[in-house]
Structure 1
Amino acid sequence: MPWTSLIVYVDDEADNPARLTEACALASAHGARLIGVSGCAPETPVADAYGAGILLGEVMAAQQARNETTLKSAEQRFRGAIEAAGVEGEWRGD
């Protein structure tokens, strides 16, 4: 049974470059498309019910901005890897 699509998780861990290289090599060897995925879960802010809750909106906005930056960086690494390997790819990040 031939592989037509492979999925690789993209993050900023130390082993990610090797994971991307191996995934690209597998996709190339099997003539498969590589799908890069990544995600960021919102962190539950710690808020003081007696006053610090007023900053909750700013904390959540800062977390959202950080998550968007993290996902954009992961997507750039993925796109760079598939371009260098000459592999067809698709990005899915949330």
Structure 2
Amino acid sequence: MWLGAAVGTLLLVLLVGWALLGYYRREISANKEELQRYENAVPIVKAFYGSDIELCGDRLCANVDPRGHKSGDKGQYQPVRSRPQP
């Protein structure tokens, strides 16, 4: 009787441990994906912060470098000047 109770308890502990392990693996996987999205956004945020850009109402205004290399299929994009350093 004692042996049966011990084996049952051990099996229950193993089952709960296996379920918790699966839960935490899924949580870690989801967090890794979210972290990767944040890491992909870092260069964009750095470029935005280094550029001379401001909010003008609900749009962005930029201090464009007229001598910069144009890009885009129609040459419609120009680089933005660097933000002045204080």
**TM-score, structure 2 normalization:** 0.38
TM superposition score normalised by structure 1:
0.35
The structure that is helix-richer by fraction is 2
Larger Rg: 2
Structure with the greater relative contact order (CA < 8 A, sep ≥ 6): 1 or 2?
A: 1
